[in-house]
Structures are given as structure tokens and as C-alpha cells.
Structure 1
Amino acid sequence: MTERAGKTAIVIGAGIGGLAAAAALAPHFAEILVLERDHPPPGAGARSGVPHGDQAHVLLLGGQLALAELLPGFEADLAAAGAVPLRQSADSYMDFPRLGRLPPFDIGINFYAASRPLIEAVVRRRVAALAPVTIREGVRVAALVTTPDGSAVIGVRHAGADGAPETLIADLVIDAAGRNGTLSRTMLADTGHAPLAVTEIGMEVAYTTGIFIPAEDAARDWKYAYVLAGPPAETRSGLILPIEGGRWLVTMVGRFGERPPADPAGFLEFARGLRTSVLYEALKAAAPLGKFTRFITPGNTWRHFERLAAPPRGWLPIGDTICDLNPVYGQGMAVAAQEAVLLRRLLDEGGDLAALPAAYLARLAAIITPAWSAVLSDLGFAETIGERPPDFAERLRFAAAVAVVAAREPEMRRLWTEVTNLQKPPSVFQAPAFRARIGAVMAEMAARA
């Protein structure tokens, strides 16, 4: 029997990060309370606490595998719920700046496409069935409760059923409350910690999403398609993703004040303005279903909890509480799930609960940095606000050369896919054989410049 790390744990938030955290804690605590301010609808419905829940979400392979580690059989559950099985690259139409359509190599990687509400519903159902877990809905946590000396978090305070403050005591509190990290940042300020260091990449990105019924088209040689914008001047992206129920979830993306319309005619006209007409032609023959939804994000923010010199005992942040990532790269759910796997492994190692925050925070950067490396490409737009690394131009040239080699070679396509899916770190490209091929392409590109 697994040794208990503590009696009671509280998880604030029942999004992917909070649910994954509860799954990670389940073997190690007698009681786990998941406190969710929303009342999630039955089944796979969007909820108000996830304002971008109706937008396209791709569960990257790194996230899919992390959730399967925490919840064995998760992938079969997704399939049974109606998620669409796809082959990476082989089933795609992927159009990249300066490369055009990438050849649809079959690189032997499977994944599942589904709406965010379906993914969350499957995870929530599995987590709710775990013996120690209770999910309490309609509970809005107001503050983290600390010891008088501020050295430890010992619970949370929320408004009870009669409106009076109620305190719940726990051995461990996980802050999965989401963007801004307000609860944790307030607690740290109140206990005398210096303000967190924050890294920001400011770039307004606007998303508009609609559900479509696709037309039957035997001539179409792809199952999912996206056109990715790129610096210095292309600002429009688009994605068609097959989801449960034989439908398409279609998202159009605009940057720097360009906002995709939320009416059928305007949405289609925006699609016509993409670099290639493939999505437009497919949507012309499809039928929109219901209303379009919009979401705007100001950019990317990394709150550096990992730099805390003496983190309070009994507390951990996870997911968007730590880092907001540009949703266009589809990394948020994967990063949160991988952080939960880190938590599970640390607990499995039998470490002291008092030492858990420092051990967990020390390893966060190894999970977040690969995802952050991708959003650094947003700095390639002159309008993006943020500090460019000293070697930024070289990084862009290297990334462009990797993409060229991946477009040419199935072996590199697989590796590139594993990196972009947060399954492997970008450092794998530094292996001598790969580095030589990438360097040769960089030389080609320099000669043409």
C-alpha cells in the first residue's frame, strides 16, 4: 500500500490542471477536496470559468501521455467518448510560412482530436471516480490561509452556504485557480516575500471559433488542417479540427488588433484572406452550426515561482497559475498535465511533504522552458512587446532551418513533432547528426539571403 503523504489535500480549480493534480495526489492522501467556483454542465459543455473553452484546443501528445500516466486507460476513454483518432502529419494539411504545405509523411504518431469540454469532461469523470476525491462546485476561494509566521499554508478561506467566511484546513493546498495567479501572489505578498519576477511577451491575439458540419468530399486528402502565420508580416492563422459528433471545430486567429468576425459571412471572408485557400474552399461547402465565439488574449506571462528562495510549506501552484501561454501553440493543457506528473513522481519517491514545494518548484523550469521556447517566436513580429534574447536572430534562423529539414525528411519530421508536442526537449536537435543537417540548411539559407 502506498504510504500516505498527508491526510487532506485541497485543490483550487477543476480545470485540466486542477483535475490532473487531484489524480496525482490520489494515491498519497486520504481525502482530496477539489473546489470549483463553476457549476460545470453535465456532459461535455463549456463553462464560464474557461472563457476560451469554446475555442480550438489540441491536446498535445506530451499532455495526452501525461494524463494517461495519471489516469491509465485515458486514451481509450477519450476514444469511447467520441474523440477522433488521427495520425500526426499523415492526416494533415499543414501550411507553414515560406514552406507551404508540408508533405504528409506518416511518422507513426497517433493522437486524438476533441473539443476542450469533451477532454475536460473525460478527465473530470475519471478523477471524480477516484476514492479520495470529492469535487465541490460553486465554491469560490477567497484566500489561502497561512500560519501566523507565514511559513506554511494550512488551508483556504471561502464563503460558506450562508455567506459567512469558512476555513478549510489541509496538509497541502494546490493553486490551480488559473490565469493571473492572484491567490498565490497575494499570499506571498502577505507573508513578506518579494514580488515574483515575471517574464512577459505581449502580443494581442484574437480567436473566433465556430462549429461546422463538413460536406462529404472524397477528394479531400486531409482530416485536419491549419495555416500558421509567421513573422514579420503574416498575422492570420486558421485551423480545422475534426471533433466528436462528426463535426469540425474551426478557429480563425488574428494578431495586433485584427479580429476575426463572428458572423458566417465575415468568418468565411477572413478565411479567404489566409495565405492559402484550402481552408476557405473547405468551409464554403460546410454548414455553420450555432453561434461563433470570440476570445482575446494579451500574450504570454511566466510568473517565476520557481525562483522563490523559501517557498511556504503546504502549497504548490500549477498550470495557468504559473504560466499563460499563447493558445495558438496548444501547450497549456500539456504543460499542466506534465506538472501534475512531476508532482506524482515526487510523492512516489516518498519525499518529505515539508520539502515538496522546493523540490517541485526547482523542476518547473524543465517543463515550462520547452513550451516557452516556442512562444519566443512571437517576438519575431516587430509589434510584439518583450525582451529579445541576445541570440534571438540566431535562434530564429536555427528554428527556420529545423522546419526546412522537417519538411524534407520523415525522420526529422518525427523528431520535430515530438519536440513541438512537448514529448522531447529542443536540445535533441543538438545531437551531432541532426546539428550537421540543420547547419547545412542554415548555410543554404544564408547563401540565398
Structure 2
Amino acid sequence: MTMTREFLLPDLGEGLTEAELVRWLVAVGDSVAVDQPVVEVETAKAVVEVPSPYAGVVAVLHGEPGQTVDVGRPLISIDDAGKSAGSGNVLIGYGTSEAATQGRKRRRKGQAAPPSNGVRPESVESAPQQALRVVSPLVRKFARELGVDLHSIKGSGPDGLIMRRDVNLVAQAEGHAAETGQAGQTRAAAGVASATPTSATDPSTGLPIASRTPVRGIRKAVAQAMSRSRTEIPEATVWVDVDATELVALREDLKRREPERAPSLLAFIARFALAGLAKYPELNTRVETAEDGSQEIVAFDGVNLGFAAQTQRGLVVPNIRGAHGMSARALDAELRRLAALARDGKAAPSDLSGSTFTLNNYGVFGVDGSAAIINYPEAAILGVGRILDRPWAVEGQLAVRKVVQLTLVFDHRVCDGGTAGGFLRFVADAVEHPGSILADL
């Protein structure tokens, strides 16, 4: 007896309530196995593949690519044809990797049955599809934008895994990276949806409208968070120029002696900021508002350190959980690991949420300073500008020093300027005299 099972969009975790359908990986009439990925969706945190908890034949696909589906709404209907459903591992990141290659399409009318040896007549085409080795949804998306067939690529990663560089090499060799493809790649790098050309005229300016770009996915999430931050948080900003000459010299010395283990300058500053938060815990809090309008300042026993990372999908904030107990070396390792996951689109929702204080290194963009927007609902964000050679007074004498600007944006509800200034001065002193501070950490 055939029974239709309706698979609802599962709870993706970390407070995510919706997802945008990017691409169906199956079609109506296809057979699917338990834990086989059936759809690629984009949330505010990442692009992920959702596995099916049921085995059977696809009956209905609820939605088209580009549509937004709420958690708990129908995603796909599957006729189980009397088959037993399996693992039920419907959370993102779960499911067997082999199951994705075990699905078989239902034989359509007029299609020859497969030979007894299990090889289908179209094996020349389908065998590479079954062996396709792609983990990152961003690689799939990159290949689509450049018009590259992933089945034609031999991956250079572990066990033949297809990497972004493999797609890029094929695109260059075959001439796929033409103007249209490059435009799509640029849009992807900006983290926005494809723009729709239009010939309409804007009534207020009288100028032709070149395009309209839907705000969705990561761009929508960023816009909502930033708007809420500016609307609800009465922020204030303090900044200071800092002589980082000794810190730069310290790192260069470590790099000479231990080239593979020398922490980055950002890791040192992160360590100083964590020490500052231990001294000024008011900045490691958040304000929560109850339904009756009353508010509480919630303090945390520990720090989850977020850091802003620019990716192809836009700005995300990975966070180092339990950062307060880590050394500069441990922080450096986590900064590199999480940044790589975010860039490759492999960061889990838990990696991209839950921070209690954020560090923003905008110096990598060649910027000296910035009044950053607080990462809602946190209470503060510390910005780090680029390090430049500048004239500086040292013991009454003019000298050229390595100078960096530190900027602290804070929620004025949790503390006053004295606390914010004290924290910033503490971090600045640590940057200027790292030896004495590191001796106490």
C-alpha cells in the first residue's frame, strides 16, 4: 500500500525560522533514499543541503527556486510505496554521504529496463553523476554561474573532492568566464540575489532604473540585524590611536623563531580584548526586553568572541566559543579555522551565532577607522584599523612608529563612557606594551 509522507522544512537551529529555496536536487518521479539530499536552501547563516528522512518516489515539490519557506511548512511529499522510512536525520549536516548516490530515477514509459549487471544503458552519462564529489554548495553555485558542468571535472581535493579552483580552471580553459558569468560571480561575491533588468523610469529622479535586486538570504539577514541594532541600541563611539610598534616587533620575533606557530596580530588583540572584558564585564552583556516592556541586562560567565568575516555570500560573524579561556595561539587557530569554514560556505549555524562580543578587523580593507554597527543583540564591538608608519612623539622626540586606530562602539544602556573608555585604554596599553600584559595572562 502506497502512503504519501509530507516532509516539512525542519528546524534549522539557532533561531532560524525560514529558508530560501535555491535549487531542487530531485524532480517529481525520482526515487530517493533515506538521508539523500533533496534540496539546496539558503538561510541567514549558510547555504545547505537538506536530506530526506524518507525513502520513496517524489510526489510533490512544494515551492520553486527563489521562494521562501517557513520552518514547519511542507517542503516535499514522498510516496513511500510500502518502504520503511529510515534515520529521520533531517537536521542540517546529518545523514549519510553514501545515500546521496543511491537514489534511482523511476523508469518512465518506453524506457528500457537496466541490464542484470546493474549498469543502466545511459551509464556513460550517469556514472560520473553518481560519483560526483562536491561538498560545498558555494562550489556548485560557482559552477552554475560560470556554466561549468561539474560532472566533467576531476577534483583536486582529498579523494577527488571538487574544489573552487577546479571549477575556475575549467572555466578559464573552456572560455566560460565570459561577461555574463563574471557578472554573476560579482553578484555572488556581493552576497546579493541576481538583479532583474528593467526599462522602467524612477518617478522621483526621472532616471531609468537599471535593475531591481531582491533583498534576501544573507543580505536580508544582515539588513534586518543592522536595522534593529540602529533602531533599538543607543550607541556611542570612542576611539584612540595606538603605537603598535612593540606588538609588531614581538610578532616578527616569534615568526622568525616559530614561523608556523606565531599568532597573528589580530589574535593578540583578541587576547587583549578578552582580558579587558574580564576587567570591564559590562561590555560582555546584552539588554533583553520582556513582553511587558521591562528590561534586564544579562551578563555572561565567559565570552563567545565573534569576528566579522567577509565571504562571497556577504558579511558573517563566526564566533569562538569559550574564547576567554584561550591563549593567543589557540585564538589564532580558531580564527583561521572558522574564517575558512565561512569562506567555503561550510560553517554550521552554531558557528555563525551566539557571540557575546565582536571584533571587527576592517584594516584588511585598507581602512583606518570606522564607527561600526553593533552586532545585535550584543552590547559592544571593537574595531581595528590598518597599521601604518606615522610620525609619533616618543619621550619628547619625533619618531616613525607603527600606529593603529582602535574604535569601540558600545550600548550606552549597559555602561557609561568611563567604562567604555577604561576598556579601550586597557586594550590600547596592552597593544603598546604587550610584554607586561602577556606576563599576566
In the superposition, the TM-score normalised over structure 2's length comes to 0.23
CA radius of gyration, larger in: 2
The normalised TM-score by structure 1 is: 0.23
Point out the structure with the larger helix share. 1
Higher RCO (C-alpha under 8 Å, 6+ residues apart): 1
